[in-house]
Amino acid sequence: MLTKLKILVCIKQVPDTNASLCLNNGMPEYDEKTVYVINRYDEYALEEALQLKDRDLTAYIHTISVGPGRVQKALRRSLEMGADEAFHIQTQDDGLNTPYVIAQTITQFAQHTYDIIFTGVMSEDAMNQQTGQLIAAMLGYNYATGVTELSLIQNTITVTRELDAQESLIYDVPIPCVISVQSSTQKPRYPSLSNVLRARKQEIAIIKPDLAIPFAQTKCHFTMPQKTTQCKFIEGSMLKKVTELYSILHKNAVL
Amino acid sequence: MSILVIADVKNRTVNPSTLEMLSAAKEIANKNNMPIYILIPFGNISGDSYCSNEFKTCVLDLDIEQYRALILVKYISTVIREINASYIIGLHTPFSIDYIPALSVEINAQCVTQIHSLDVSEYITVTRGSHAGKLDQHIVINETPIIVTVLPGSFEPYTITDVQTKEIMIIHIPEKDKHAYCNFITKDSKDTSLDEADVIVGAGKGIGSRENLNLIFEFAKVFPHSAVAGSRIVCDYGWLPYSKQIGITGKSIAPKVYIACAISGSSQHVAGIKGAKTIIAINKDPYAPIFNVSHYGVVADIFEFIPQFIDFVQNNT
């Protein structure tokens, strides 16, 4: 009989994609009113883990997030969706930590405890697309990224990785492994009432990061993106915008 | 010291965008006077036309079907050490991003992904889109080795003049590291609508729901040879099939006109629209990054603008 799986899902809390931000001395600052949510790809990763739980294949699902106090909201949400326990690795801010440092922190927490470590394929804000690969390399685990489908047969996960609109790649990844999810076959679930009630009472374990890990930040600065085109804004009343766009499209011989 | 360019794979052959990485490598080589190596990660991906006297070429003795990230990491890091590579350049595609960051653990180097430009002066500075495309992040390279992945379409492709295949280094891989074959699945590609359309109307997350897509379809109908496509998120939500997805993980398009409706314009999406002759963006957020790559911009709510535009066309033609 298959032993039940111990699963860790890595979660990043990110600003809602509509959040407005400004630059202060070359460093980004989000508006105070910014709403933070679970990174979309991490939500898919959590859903894939919960699918395994639904089939009674898991011993437990743990979630982990590295960041400041506010990330507990994302962890709470993961419990409401159905994760069993949540762990918060407290840092000042997660904004500029390199993916390498985040991966080191998670690796140190995970040790070799878990059978499957799920991550999203990337974060929507930083878009580094590295954390899953780095955790796997640090643990020496097999892994796959960009996963759109997975099926578990005994101690092997068969993954489908999407390469582009035309092509995908299917192969087996033996457990223990790291799976970075691109999208899930099921929509991430809404929390059930019973899980919401359970999560309300649950404590989130707070862990101080090991100081042996240098929380090196990338030496960098930020600017507004360079414009690759001179965008001509069509101004005026709605009618003026409509007529002017019409004439532009007409000149381009598509209308 | 040297520069290593790792060829990317597309349709089971070398991705022609590999030539763009060679241009980036040349910029660094011109400053640092380092030799450039090009590594073809598989023996059966028609890499011959990328072999030249200008560069040193090495090929892993592995079939593409034997792909496993950890195997590539193991042998490419050996190559990196052997040639003492200071700059390791890969392409930012779903295929290559699977293993390139993992090299950084093996060779103990920083990896910076998705760079779109390079500034070579006293120091080398790489620039990448961040914060969902709203900002550019400039990173000064003060330590080597360094690994970077380059966003496709960011550099002009380099032209290789003297193709020769005499002096290729073949990296032997023992049988024990050759895995069971993985399957490449090519989806039914009968859907050529995005390749043939003169006008492509793209829908972003801002359309809000699947039902609202009808508005985008009505808009597209105004144009004689048109098609509807979407950003990654619209396809992830199931509002459009993946065959209609534009971007790094989807299709690259080259219509006469591309109209981005309620698309914010992440670098993932923008990489797929560079071939369009004219790019028009309609978005209610005047700071949406999509305007940085558009020729014309309309700051408006699509739900107000598009119905009026359709009315106008119907009354004037």
**DSSP letter for each residue of A66-114:** EESTTHHHHHHHHHHHT-SEEEEEE-S-STTB-HHHHHHHHHHHHTT--
Give pTM, 2 decimals: 0.93
Q: Average the pLDDT over A166-174 and give the result.
A: 93
**Inter-chain residue contact A130 with B185, CB threshold 8 Å:** no
Q: Is A241 helix (H, G, I), strand (E, B) or coil?
A: helix
**Inter-chain residue contact A134 with B105, CB threshold 8 Å:** yes
Note whether residue B182 is domain-resident: no
**Interface residue B199 vs chain A (CB under 8 A):** yes
**Interface residue B137 vs chain A (CB under 8 A):** yes
Does one domain contain both B198 and B172?
Answer: no
Q: What is the pLDDT of residue B107?
A: 96
d(CA A58, CA A36): 29
**Interface residue B303 vs chain A (CB under 8 A):** no
Range of the domain at B15: 2-177
Strand B257-261 and strand A156-162: the pairing is unpaired
pLDDT in tens, A114-141: 999 999 999 998 999 999 999 999 999 9
Note whether residue B208 is domain-resident: yes
d(CA B46, CA B59): 11
**Given the structure tokens 């009354």, which residue do they identify?**
B315
**Interface residue B142 vs chain A (CB under 8 A):** yes
Whether residue A219 has pLDDT greater than 80: no
Q: How many Cα atoms are found within 13 Å in the side-chain-facing hemisphere of A92?
A: 6
Note whether residue B229 is domain-resident: yes
**Inter-chain residue contact A168 with B102, CB threshold 8 Å:** no
Lowest mean pLDDT among A44-53, A112-121, A152-161, B236-245: B236-245
Distance from the Cα of residue B56 to its chain's centroid: 25
Residue B39, phi then psi, degrees to nearest 5: -110, 125
Note whether residue B246 is domain-resident: yes
d(CA B186, CA B146): 34
Whether residue A226 has pLDDT greater than 90: no
pLDDT in tens, B195-212: 899 999 999 999 999 999
Does one domain contain both B123 and B79?
Answer: yes
Does one domain contain both B46 and B126?
Answer: yes
State how far residue A79 is from chain B, nearest Cα, in angstroms: 23
Does one domain contain both B276 and B169?
Answer: no
Q: What is the pLDDT of residue B243?
A: 87
**Inter-chain residue contact B185 with A146, CB threshold 8 Å:** no
Q: Which of B211, B199, B217, B166 is nearest to B277 (CA)?
A: B199
Q: How many domains does chain B have?
A: 2
Does one domain contain both B67 and B141?
Answer: yes
CATH number where B124 lies:
3.40.50.620
**Inter-chain residue contact A100 with B199, CB threshold 8 Å:** no
Q: What is the pLDDT of residue B298?
A: 97
Does one domain contain both B285 and B153?
Answer: no
| Domain end (from B142, B177, B212) | B177
Whether residue A211 has pLDDT greater than 60: no
Note whether residue B188 is domain-resident: no
**Given the structure tokens 């699977």, which residue do they identify?**
B98
State how far residue A203 is from chain B, nearest Cα, in angstroms: 31
Note whether residue B186 is domain-resident: no
Does one domain contain both B30 and B74?
Answer: yes
Helix (H), strand (E), coil (C) string for B73-139: HHHHHHHHHHCCEEEEEEECCCCHHHCCCCHHHHHCCEEEEEEEEEEECCCEEEEEEEHHHCEEEEE
Distance from the Cα of residue B183 to its chain's centroid: 23
Note whether residue B124 is domain-resident: yes
Q: What is the pLDDT of residue A216?
A: 59
CATH number where B272 lies:
3.40.50.1220
d(CA A140, CA A49): 21
Task: Quote the CATH superfamily of domain A5-207.
Answer: HUPs (3.40.50.620)
Which residue does chain B place closest to A23, by CA atoms?
B135
pLDDT in tens, A198-209: 999 999 999 988
In order of A190, B80, B100, B123, B245, the CA distances from B89 in angstroms are: 42, 11, 9, 17, 27
Q: What is the pLDDT of residue A171?
A: 95
State how far residue A14 is from chain B, nearest Cα, in angstroms: 10
Q: Average the pLDDT over A140-159 and give the result.
A: 95
Return the ∠ at Cα B253 (arms to B250 and B258), rounded to 5°: 115
Residues of B in contact with A145 (CB under 8 A): 94, 97-98
pLDDT in tens, A77-93: 999 999 999 999 998 87
The ipTM, to two decimals, is: 0.92
Does one domain contain both B140 and B214?
Answer: no
Could you read off the pLDDT tens digit of each residue along chain B, which spans 317 residues?
Answer: 999 999 999 989 999 999 999 999 999 999 989 999 999 999 999 988 898 888 999 999 999 999 999 999 999 999 999 999 999 999 999 999 999 999 999 999 999 999 999 999 988 999 999 888 889 999 999 889 999 999 999 999 999 988 887 788 999 999 999 987 899 998 766 677 888 999 999 999 999 999 999 999 999 999 999 999 999 999 988 899 888 999 988 899 999 999 999 999 988 899 999 999 999 999 999 999 999 999 999 999 999 999 999 999 999 87
- End-to-end alpha carbon distance in chain B: 65
The better pLDDT of the pair A107, A17 is held by A107
